[in-house]
Structure 1
């Protein structure tokens, strides 16, 4: 309980009033007494005549506060001793307040000083209560952050020895990491003085509004879990989604990180990734490549096809155990288009290198065997296509 910013008494609840209401009642009585400073008299202690047994501190015939048996027990003293102590404290507070009102600035100056002092004192009290709690909460958060990081690191070491599936490892590590963080936040909330059950209940009541406000984040989070669980692709796969193509480097719970072949990083939201059409180039270890060869109508096509089929398996990166096929794709106005298909590794670098090697090998083989390439002199050997 304060009077003009100065602490006077520390009051607890009674059978009929909580501590806050009791403090407000006592402060209101003291303020009303200061409205008439001429009637102030020394505080005296009398037996309580109200519903609450104990001793009453009375000033100018006004019962200011009643000292109860509970108050005495809380202060480890008797009712009579505590009543005398509180009477002296009330006398000192009223005298101090009266002197302020009779000093510089009168009542207005006293009210201003009182308001300023009350604000700073309450700020100090709040700081004394909150700073230790805040430090405790920060300590809890730091400890759980360290625990979550350590758990993620240990899981990485364990999975390297037990599980070779990077996607499963990523799923378990992220779920463990965020689960520990969630527990840490609940403990930190308790350290701040909030009831975790009340906080959870409050979040539940506002869950619908939060769901609408954070629907994109929640959608990405759920999609990330589904991607990690269903595994349409894995870490290290080379995929095409929309206009982006590259290596899957990380699957976060919000977005998937793809590094394109020119070194740029693309963050694709998981909700978009989960609902889009995805081409996984490395889902299978092998991939078929195709080039188009243009030959004139005066060329012996059967002989040219035999030369190409014999030459392509010698190109670097081409799998010799898989057959090479040569088919007529289209009869153009000036030349014949041959489709040459072969098999190679599905990785982008190996696939691109194999395509280049096959084109060079086909040109050399045709020239060595006297099979002319069509005019005009400048001709694209092949429009590279992937039919696998």
Structure 2
């Protein structure tokens, strides 16, 4: 799929080689450039096909001639047995530093010798087979080398550009972090600006690297247009996570450091990236939740408010004096420093069980889990101590054993 996608991005004028070699039997004859709107590579392939057709012909008549071409003006035509092979134009002459006529004669001599050598190598059926195989192999390696000479320098240049922009993106992110820490206290807004700046530099780097490789920006746009449907299906999840990450950073349903619940994951928000939200659970593990799932799921933010209500259930016997018990429980909650006086603690009769009355002690404390759990534990300990000090018995499970007397045995029959 990657190869098919890359094929949709044609190389621009800077990436296509303006010169190409003409090969025959795997040997270089001469080098041609662009002419009459025809790219150099296509022009070289056309010349090779014409020469190959001459070698396939059974005729031994392969006389090479140089004639003035009808167009463009000042150009010369190299023919073999009356068949046009190549037109030597003014651009070719300027590249070679020779008059067009002299360059045409030079190419004509090269073609004549190459055809003679090729015909000699195909004198018999066996030699023809060997020559064709050898020519195919040599031509393939020559093409590979020709492509490597063009592509490898551009690939190295693109890699160097990407490395430079990677360093620049890291520098921009570090600089923004140092600057925003001085003037901006909102970590979520700081994270949004840093990530947008970081990826903006990367996007610019990719465009410059594409130019260094020879891909024009308009060609990139054209390729993206041609492959938009395929990319939409292939990168659906990635794009969904990316857009969801931007929306989370902009709408901010939670911030860095908030303690949230997403599905079965509960913990502190450690980092909000454009792909996923990192949550550190209370046992120290880090869970990466995709932003698309985070944005569309029900999220419980335990620390959206600085305070949070806790509720403890206390089971009391039915013979307990409930008003006095409630007063003791409120006094126990008041002895814990972390319990907030406002809103004030309250005790409610929650429900009746078979063996006990269920009371619920409600109080407010810090919403962070560490403080919330610790305060609830202190309130439990204080409630037990106060109930014992007040002489109110705590319910305890009892086991009742009922002894059933055995059935009386029938008296034995007595004999007379």
TM-score (normalised: structure 2): 0.83
Give the SS at the match of 1:294.
Answer: strand
Instruction: Identify if the C-alpha distance between structure 1 residues 48 and 306 changes in structure 2 by more than 3 Å, giving closer, same or farther.
Output: same
Matches within 5 A, 1:216-295: 216-295=237-316
* Residue 70 (structure 2) pairs with residue 57 (structure 1): no
* Residue 318 (structure 2) pairs with residue 297 (structure 1): yes
Give the SS at the match of 2:360.
Answer: strand
Contact 1:245–1:261 under 8 Å retained in 2: yes
Of 79, 88, 102, 2:100 maps to 79
Instruction: Identify if the C-alpha distance between structure 1 residues 191 and 213 changes in structure 2 by more than 3 Å, giving closer, same or farther.
Output: same
Find the counterpart in structure 1 of residue 346 from structure 2: 325
Report how far residue 260 of structure 1 moved.
1.7
| Bigger shift: residues 171-180 or 114-123 | 171-180
* Residue 56 (structure 2) pairs with residue 39 (structure 1): no
* Distance across 2 between alignment mates of 1:87 and 1:194: 36
* Distance across 2 between alignment mates of 1:249 and 1:196: 38
Contact 2:69–2:87 under 8 Å retained in 1: no
Report how far residue 9 of structure 1 moved.
2.1
Find the counterpart in structure 2 of residue 149 from structure 1: 170
* Distance across 2 between alignment mates of 1:21 and 1:237: 63
User: Structure 1: 5+ residue runs without aligned partners?
Assistant: 379-388
Find the counterpart in structure 2 of residue 48 from structure 1: 68
Report how far residue 18 of structure 1 moved.
5.0
Contact 1:235–1:250 under 8 Å retained in 2: yes
Contact 1:326–1:340 under 8 Å retained in 2: yes
* Distance across 2 between alignment mates of 1:338 and 1:3: 99
* Number of corresponding residues: 376
* Distance across 2 between alignment mates of 1:337 and 1:88: 110
* Distance across 1 between alignment mates of 2:69 and 2:323: 123
Of 316, 336, 343, 1:315 maps to 336
Give the SS at the match of 2:32.
Answer: coil
Matches within 5 A, 1:95-110: 95-102=116-123, 105-110=126-131
* Distance across 2 between alignment mates of 1:271 and 1:22: 52
Instruction: Identify if the C-alpha distance between structure 1 residues 231 and 27 changes in structure 2 by more than 3 Å, giving closer, same or farther.
Output: same
Find the counterpart in structure 2 of residue 364 from structure 1: 385
Find the counterpart in structure 2 of residue 173 from structure 1: 194
Give the SS at the match of 1:8.
Answer: strand
Instruction: Identify if the C-alpha distance between structure 1 residues 220 and 97 changes in structure 2 by more than 3 Å, giving closer, same or farther.
Output: same
Instruction: Identify if the C-alpha distance between structure 1 residues 298 and 62 changes in structure 2 by more than 3 Å, giving closer, same or farther.
Output: closer
| Bigger shift: residues 9-18 or 218-227 | 9-18
Of 353, 359, 363, 1:338 maps to 359
Instruction: Identify if the C-alpha distance between structure 1 residues 49 and 283 changes in structure 2 by more than 3 Å, giving closer, same or farther.
Output: closer
Instruction: Identify if the C-alpha distance between structure 1 residues 216 and 21 changes in structure 2 by more than 3 Å, giving closer, same or farther.
Output: closer
* Distance across 2 between alignment mates of 1:17 and 1:82: 19
* Distance across 1 between alignment mates of 2:345 and 2:38: 94
Deviations 1:15-65 (A, max 9, x none): 475544543443233223333473245x453x3254444333344454433
Deviations 1:45-92 (A, max 9, x none): 3x3254444333344454433322332123222123212322232233
Instruction: Identify if the C-alpha distance between structure 1 residues 305 and 15 changes in structure 2 by more than 3 Å, giving closer, same or farther.
Output: closer
Q: State the Cα RMSD in Å.
A: 2.4
* Distance across 1 between alignment mates of 2:72 and 2:200: 52
Find the counterpart in structure 2 of residue 132 from structure 1: 153
Instruction: Identify if the C-alpha distance between structure 1 residues 78 and 360 changes in structure 2 by more than 3 Å, giving closer, same or farther.
Output: same
